Structure 1
Amino acid sequence: MANNTSQHILNTSANLLGFCLFVITSLRIANLTETLIIDELTSIISLLLTFSCGFSFISIRTKNEIREERFETIADYFFMLSLVGIFIIILLITFNFVK
């Protein structure tokens, strides 16, 4: 059985999704109009994390080993894209507040 990392991806993706939603909410409450690109990128990352959660959940629940491995691989790719996106968002936030 594959499912070596699906449980970890599901848990971590859900936590990072909460982080992204917190960033979006914070930017909206602070009414920072110059951070529009950060807001849009965070929304895209939230979608990627949602897909990662979905595919890892399906991977955990499926009984077919081939599908299980395939869904886990897809979840891995969405998760890695999300991590790269979060890194970019953190850089943008840092440079936005430093200047």
Structure 2
Amino acid sequence: MGAPSQPTSQHIFNASSNLLGICFLILTSLKVLNINSKTVIDEITMLATFLFLCSCTLSFLSIRNKTNNSIVLENIADVIFLVGLLLLFITALLFSFNMIH
């Protein structure tokens, strides 16, 4: 096998750190709008925040690691990122439907 795909880890790191900021923005918006105690949106967003933080950490470690373990770290970061993205999508749907009512 060749060297690990470093640009992929860098993209995962960049995207997950940006989405981590969006999760914090959603949590702040829920608090300001005073709807955080009425829905499960904040719990789902908090889980997505944790997943994006894990994805950031693993992709960073993959970039810094020069061994074959970096491929494993990159793959785990990728899967965690996708799960976090799915949760963020669910959060956006719930947030939208809650704002319509």
Same fold (TM over 0.5): yes
Instruction: Please report how far the alpha carbon of residue 95 of structure 1 lies from its aligned counterpart in structure 2 after TM superposition.
Output: 1.1
- Please provide the CA RMSD for this pair: 1.0
Higher helix share: 1
Deviations 1:33-88 (A, max 9, x none): 323x0001000000000000000000000010x20100000000010001110111
> Matches of 1:48 and 1:12 in 2, distance apart?
12
The correspondence for 2:72, drawn from 67, 70, 73, is 70
Normalising by structure 1, what TM-score? 0.93
> Matches of 1:50 and 1:6 in 2, distance apart?
14
- 2:19 is matched with which residue? 16
Q: Percent identity?
A: 43
Instruction: Please report how far the alpha carbon of residue 4 of structure 1 lies from its aligned counterpart in structure 2 after TM superposition.
Output: 3.7
> Matches of 1:70 and 1:83 in 2, distance apart?
20
Normalising by structure 2, what TM-score? 0.91
> Matches of 1:93 and 1:29 in 2, distance apart?
14
Please list every run of 5 or more consecutive structure 1 residues that lacks an aligned counterpart in the other structure: none
> Matches of 1:4 and 1:70 in 2, distance apart?
15
Tell me the matched-pair count: 97
- 2:10 is matched with which residue? 7
1:59 matches 2:62: yes
Please list every run of 5 or more consecutive structure 2 residues that lacks an aligned counterpart in the other structure: none
AA in 2 matched with 1:93: F
